Amino acid sequence: MIEIPYGELSDLALLNLIDEFITRDSSVTDGTLEQKREQILTLLKSGKAYITYDTDSASAHIWTSEELRRMSTRSRECEPRNSQTH
Protein backbone atom coordinates (compact mmCIF):
# COMPACT_ATOMS: atom_id res chain seq x y z
CA MET A 1 0.00 0.00 0.00
CA ILE A 2 1.18 3.48 -0.84
CA GLU A 3 -0.05 6.51 1.09
CA ILE A 4 -1.24 9.38 -1.11
CA PRO A 5 -1.55 12.89 0.36
CA TYR A 6 -5.13 14.06 -0.15
CA GLY A 7 -3.92 17.36 -1.62
CA GLU A 8 -2.34 15.53 -4.57
CA LEU A 9 -5.71 14.31 -5.87
CA SER A 10 -7.98 16.29 -8.13
CA ASP A 11 -11.10 17.69 -6.48
CA LEU A 12 -13.26 15.18 -8.36
CA ALA A 13 -11.09 12.19 -7.44
CA LEU A 14 -11.08 13.24 -3.78
CA LEU A 15 -14.85 13.74 -3.78
CA ASN A 16 -15.41 10.29 -5.31
CA LEU A 17 -13.13 8.65 -2.72
CA ILE A 18 -14.88 10.45 0.12
CA ASP A 19 -18.30 9.38 -1.19
CA GLU A 20 -17.12 5.76 -1.46
CA PHE A 21 -15.83 5.94 2.11
CA ILE A 22 -19.15 7.33 3.37
CA THR A 23 -21.13 4.50 1.78
CA ARG A 24 -18.68 1.87 3.09
CA ASP A 25 -18.06 3.18 6.62
CA SER A 26 -20.99 2.71 8.98
CA SER A 27 -19.54 5.17 11.53
CA VAL A 28 -20.40 8.10 9.24
CA THR A 29 -24.16 8.19 9.66
CA ASP A 30 -25.26 11.60 10.93
CA GLY A 31 -25.84 14.68 8.83
CA THR A 32 -26.35 15.56 5.20
CA LEU A 33 -24.07 14.26 2.48
CA GLU A 34 -22.21 17.59 2.48
CA GLN A 35 -21.73 17.44 6.27
CA LYS A 36 -20.39 13.89 5.99
CA ARG A 37 -18.01 14.98 3.25
CA GLU A 38 -16.72 17.82 5.44
CA GLN A 39 -16.29 15.41 8.35
CA ILE A 40 -14.10 13.09 6.25
CA LEU A 41 -12.11 15.98 4.78
CA THR A 42 -11.45 17.20 8.33
CA LEU A 43 -10.18 13.71 9.26
CA LEU A 44 -7.86 13.74 6.24
CA LYS A 45 -6.55 17.22 7.03
CA SER A 46 -5.93 16.33 10.69
CA GLY A 47 -4.12 13.08 9.90
CA LYS A 48 -6.84 10.90 11.44
CA ALA A 49 -7.61 9.37 8.05
CA TYR A 50 -5.39 8.46 5.13
CA ILE A 51 -5.70 7.74 1.43
CA THR A 52 -3.90 4.66 0.22
CA TYR A 53 -3.33 3.12 -3.17
CA ASP A 54 -3.12 -0.66 -3.41
CA THR A 55 -0.92 -1.65 -6.34
CA ASP A 56 -2.23 -5.23 -6.33
CA SER A 57 -5.87 -4.21 -6.84
CA ALA A 58 -5.09 -0.87 -8.55
CA SER A 59 -7.53 0.91 -6.26
CA ALA A 60 -7.48 3.76 -3.78
CA HIS A 61 -9.23 3.87 -0.41
CA ILE A 62 -9.66 6.11 2.60
CA TRP A 63 -8.80 4.50 5.93
CA THR A 64 -9.16 5.90 9.41
CA SER A 65 -6.18 5.63 11.73
CA GLU A 66 -8.11 3.02 13.73
CA GLU A 67 -8.75 0.88 10.63
CA LEU A 68 -5.06 0.97 9.69
CA ARG A 69 -4.09 0.06 13.25
CA ARG A 70 -6.45 -2.96 13.21
CA MET A 71 -5.12 -4.06 9.80
CA SER A 72 -1.55 -3.80 11.03
CA THR A 73 -2.34 -5.87 14.13
CA ARG A 74 -4.08 -8.58 12.07
CA SER A 75 -1.20 -8.64 9.62
CA ARG A 76 1.31 -9.23 12.41
CA GLU A 77 -0.89 -11.98 13.87
CA CYS A 78 -0.92 -13.80 10.52
CA GLU A 79 2.82 -13.62 9.89
CA PRO A 80 4.60 -16.95 10.26
CA ARG A 81 6.86 -17.08 13.26
CA ASN A 82 10.46 -18.01 12.79
CA SER A 83 11.08 -21.34 14.43
CA GLN A 84 14.59 -22.24 15.19
CA THR A 85 15.64 -25.84 15.24
CA HIS A 86 18.59 -26.90 17.31
Cβ-Cβ contacts under 8 Å for 31 (sequence gap 6 or more): 39
Residue 11, pLDDT score: 95
Cβ-Cβ contacts under 8 Å for 14 (sequence gap 6 or more): 6, 41
The rounded distance, in Å, linking the Cα atoms of 26 and 34 is: 16
**Which domains does the chain carry?**
2-77 (1.10.10.610)
Q: With pLDDT > 90 as the criterion, what percentage of the chain qualifies?
A: 52
What is the model's pTM? 0.74
| pLDDT per residue as tens, the chain (86 positions) | 899 999 999 999 999 999 998 888 667 778 899 999 999 999 999 999 999 999 999 989 898 888 877 877 766 555 555 545 44
Residue 46, pLDDT score: 95
